[in-house]
Structure 1
Amino acid sequence: MSIRLDHIIVPARDKKTSAEFLARILGLETKPQFGPFIPVTTGNGVTLDFMDSDDFRQHHCAFLVPAAEWDAIFARIEESGARYYANPDGSGEGEINTRDGGRGVYFDDPSGHAMEVLTVPYGGWS
């Protein structure tokens, strides 16, 4: 069996708010709470397990999304009122990027994590 990422734990000020926010933006659903976690599962089976915490550093999660779904995802980011920006350092506020011939944008979740959606992986398609 090849090694695969199964899940990551994402600390949040309010796990329910953060999990529901990300699920809504990506067009996914939250799963029922499991222990202290509220999971959001991506299309490739990786689960983000949101857990309440008051002490954490900012995380960054990037999601490769189909170009056909980009407009709907970006519209939900704008509708949410979340701060979004073109670059990982937070510059280019209110803008998207077009690196590697695709589209990408960073946005803040309710706990201050930097989420990213992009249509082309870094370096382009091989």
Structure 2
Amino acid sequence: MGTKFNHTIIASTDRVRSAAFYRDLFELAEAPSWGPFTNLLLEDGVLLQFAEPPVEIQMQHYAFLVDDDLFDRAYARLREQGVDHAADPHWQRPGETNTEHGGRGVYFRDPSGHGLEMITRPYL
């Protein structure tokens, strides 16, 4: 077997709230949680583990590749919830999506301030 990405810990100010945000937005499955982790499972078996570290949280960037139907549903949820978003990472085009790289994309923040990107086509 080659190298596969298995899991990551996403630092959160409120792990339950953050996990619910990702679960509801991206329609993710809940996974068994343990210890300091609230877990979600992506379709490819990657585990997202949300935890509340005892240190200041540094902003990270996470990009999610979704199909066009999920993009439409998730983008509608972002707008319904009043989540600020932009077509670009520098927020020069707020309230818009982009059509770069042959698909659609949008940038926004999760409840802990991490920068999220949702795209419908991979960059490579």
TM > 0.5:
yes
Residue equivalent to 2:2: 2
- Structure 2 residue runs of 5 or longer lacking an equivalent are none
5 Å-filtered alignment, 1:96-107, equals 96-107=97-108
Q: TM-score, normalised by structure 2?
A: 0.92
Q: Quick one: distance in 1 between partners of 2:30 and 2:18?
A: 10
Letter of the 1:41 partner, please give it.
L
Shift, 1:32, TM fit: 3.7
Verify: 1:122 aligned to 2:120, yes or no: no
More deviation, 30-39/91-100: 30-39
What are the superposed Cα offsets for residues 12-37 of structure 1, whole Å, 9 maximum, x if unpaired? 00000001001100011333421110
Distance 1:80 1:30, change over 3 A: farther
SS of residue in 2 equivalent to 1:87: coil
Residue pair 1:85, 1:92 contacting (<8 A) in 2 also: yes
Letter of the 2:69 partner, please give it.
A
Q: Quick one: distance in 2 between partners of 1:110 and 1:8?
A: 17
What are the superposed Cα offsets for residues 64-113 of structure 1, whole Å, 9 maximum, x if unpaired? 10123221111111122211111112331111110122100011111001
Residue equivalent to 2:48: 48
Q: TM-score, normalised by structure 1?
A: 0.90
Q: Quick one: distance in 2 between partners of 1:91 and 1:48?
A: 30
Residue pair 2:26, 2:70 contacting (<8 A) in 1 also: no
Residue correspondences, number: 123
Residue equivalent to 2:27: 27
Q: Quick one: distance in 2 between partners of 1:65 and 1:96?
A: 14
Letter of the 1:18 partner, please give it.
S
Residue equivalent to 1:94: 95
Letter of the 1:13 partner, please give it.
T
- Structure 1 residue runs of 5 or longer lacking an equivalent are none
Residue equivalent to 2:114: 113
Matched-pair identity in %: 39
Which 4+ runs in 1 deviate beyond 4 A? none
What are the superposed Cα offsets for residues 3-60 of structure 1, whole Å, 9 maximum, x if unpaired? 1110000000000000100110001133342111011111111111000135121011
SS of residue in 1 equivalent to 2:29: coil
